[in-house]
Each structure stands twice: as C-alpha cells, then as structure tokens.
Amino acid sequence: MRSSASTPQLLMIGPLLPALVERIEQAYQVHRFWELDDPQGWLRTHAERIDAIATSGVFGASAELIEALPNLQAIISFGVGYDSIAVDTAKKRGIAVTNTPGVLDNCVADTAVAILLALGRRISEADRFVRAGEWQHARFPLARSIGGKVCGIVGMGNIGRAIAKRVEAFGMTVAYHNRRRRDDVDYAYHETLEGLLEAADYAVLVVPGGSATDKLIGAEQLRALGPQGYLVNIARGSVVDEQALITALQNGTIAGAALDVFADEPRVPAELLALDNVVLTPHIGSGTHETREAMADLFFANLEGFFKQGRAVTPV
C-alpha cells in the first residue's frame, strides 16, 4: 500500500480477485471495509478520507454508506450488474459509478446455453442417475429435442443477442420481448411479456435487476409459459418470484427451470434443492479465468481513468 497526501484512498467493500486487489493496493491507499472490527466506528473517524468505493455487484454500495462519505467521488464496481448500488443517491451528489460491461457478454451467453441444454436434455438428472447406480437396473427417461423449439429471450441486449446466435446453431427459433423493438435484429418481437412466454418453449431471462424488474416473473407469467415450458434465469434472482416458481415447479405449471441466480444468494431454498426438474448453478455466468481477468482489467482502467484522466471508461 502506498500512502501519501496525494494518493486517492479507497474503501474496498468486500474481497475482489486477489491479483486485482494487489494491483489496486500498489497504486492506491486501500481500506478493507469487510475486515474492520468496528466498521461504523471507523467511518465516524475516517469517512472524510475516502475518495472512492471499490466494490462489486455482490457487495454493492448502500445509500447509507454513500451518504456517510462526504468526499466520495467515485464508485468503481466489478461486474455488469449495479442494482446493489444506490446509483440515484450517488448521482444526486455527482458521484461517478462504473461497471464492467461488454467483456463478459459471450461468457454469460455460454452459461445460459449450457444450462438450457442441461435442462432440456436432463443432463443433471442423468448424471445423478448414473452416480446413484440406477443404470444397473433401470432405463433413464427420454428427454426432449432442443432443435425446432422456440427460445424466447426476455431482454435483447448484447448478452441476449449472443444467446440468440448460439441457440440458432442448435436449430432453435428465436423470439424476444424488450422495452422496444430492435431495428438491428430480425427475430420475432412480442410487445408483451406474456405473449412471448405463451409462444416460447424456453424463456431465457437476461434483464437487469432493480425495482423495474422486481418479480417480473410471477405466477401469472409462469402459467403463460405453460406445462411444456422451461425457464432459464441468468439475470438476477430478484427478477423471479421465487416462491411462485417453486410452486409452479412442484405442481407442473411449468416443466422445469435452470437457475444461475437466486433471491438470497448464496442461500438456495430447500424446496428447489429437492426438485429433479431444475438445474442449479452458483452464479457462474461470467465464471472463467479469461473473463474475470478481462473484468479486472476494465475495473482498473475505470479506476485509473477516473483519477488520472478525470473520465472513467465505462460509466453507468
């Protein structure tokens, strides 16, 4: 850690990639908030020293914390999602907020298609079937083909388009619902979410978190998806009414679900764990070495850009 009157001081909310933390600490004075014995007491004494918050989509930055830092200039976040950051509070004070978009689009799309395939072809079930020794005395149930099915994408942004490209290679037909129709894609557009869900065999959620999408998928939407439909969520756990989903999975309202995100991570409801018609992964959408390194590079570029050039690379 380098310390001087001119060196910006960062409050790091939670642990980031070790190599990134080392890189930051070589250039800035870093205070590890999560390691403090008395965080609130520390803030009362040292809050005015903090120039920036270093955080992630997991740790966020609350309005209370932002307001407690009188000289805060920037919130630099690792990850594309920023619903855990009180952006409105920051912007009212002229505080810059950054994220790390773009570099993870293909990786997240890969994850979405991987769990979609695992769900439709019952890969997780088949794995458990073999491990339990059941293959010795029983035949595994047949799955359904992926080709020829409709993949309904909710949120046709960069990641949504990357998913569309991939599922087309498997012979799927793509349709989508967005806030508005896109002029740069030829896929079938549905003005209503329910209209898309009724048409889709697989509904893939790729929308941001936050109040605008909170419980976007509830009991009514799951009924629209129907008993032959599958839900894939790589967006945010908050986008789905988790209890409504559990009920729909238990009573056959929908056929199954593949979930990389949950409402209260890392806690996953026991009811989901008990179901066979689900694929569950621990929020690994961008979880490759290459992608996380690219995200770290962009995080640091935002930090350096803000303090050295007065302009971040990817402001929110």
Q: Residue 136 is encoded by which pair of tokens? A: 């010795």
At residue 110, the pLDDT reads 99
Residue 185, both tokens: 């894609």
All residues at 6 or more sequence positions from 215 whose CB lies less than 8 Å from its CB, including other chains: 238, 239, 240, 241, 244
pLDDT at 6: 83
The four Cα atoms 245, 248, 253, 255 give a dihedral, to 10 degrees, of 70
Residue 3's pLDDT is: 40
Contact yes or no for 189/211 (Cβ under 8 A) = no
- Mean pLDDT of the region 247-269: 98
The predicted model scores a pTM of 0.93
Determine the average pLDDT of the residues in 59-75. Answer: 98
Q: For the chain, which domains are there?
A: 9-103+290-309 (3.40.50.720), 105-280 (3.40.50.720)
Is the pLDDT reported for residue 99 higher than 90?
yes
Q: In this predicted model, what pLDDT tens digit does every residue of 141-181 receive, in sequence order?
A: 999 999 999 999 999 999 999 999 999 999 999 999 999 99
Residues 6 or more apart whose CB falls under 8 angstroms from that of 231 comprise: 202, 203, 205, 217, 222, 225, 240, 245, 254, 256, 257, 258
Cβ pair 181, 201 in contact under 8 A? no
State residue 2's pLDDT score. 38
3-class SS of residue 274: coil
Report whether pLDDT(51) > 50.
yes
Both tokens of residue 285?
């959408």
Percent of the chain with pLDDT over 90: 98
Residue 5 pLDDT: 52
- pLDDT of residue 129 exceeding 80: yes
Averaged pLDDT score across all residues of the chain: 97
With 80 as the cut, is the pLDDT of residue 197 above it? yes
Reply yes or no on whether the pLDDT at 87 is more than 80: yes
pLDDT for the residue 19:
97
What gap in Å lies between CA 264 and CA 218, rounded to an integer?
A: 17
pLDDT surpassing 50 at residue 219: yes
pLDDT in tens, 285-299: 999 999 999 999 999
SS3 of residue 102 by DSSP: coil
Please state the rounded mean pLDDT for residues 33-38. Answer: 96
Of residues 6 and 9, more confidently modeled: 9
Residue partners of 161: CB distance under 8 A and separation at least 6 = 185
73-84 mean pLDDT = 96
Catalytic one of 161, 177, 283, 292 = 283
What the block records as the tokens of 17 is 């990639």
pLDDT tens digits, 271-286 = 999 999 999 999 999 9
Of 122, 236, 242, 292, which is the active-site residue?
236
Active-site residue, selected from the candidate residues 265, 293, 304, 311: 265
Name residues whose C-beta falls within 8 Å of residue 259's C-beta, 6 or more positions apart in sequence: 115, 232, 233, 237, 272, 278, 279, 280, 281
Catalytic residue flag (residue 283): yes
Average pLDDT in the 227-242 region? 98
Tell me the pairing of strands 173-177 and 188-189: parallel
Contact call for residues 79 and 58 (beta carbons, < 8 A): yes
Residue pair 19/34 in contact by the 8 Å Cβ criterion? no
What percent of the chain is modeled with pLDDT above 70?
98
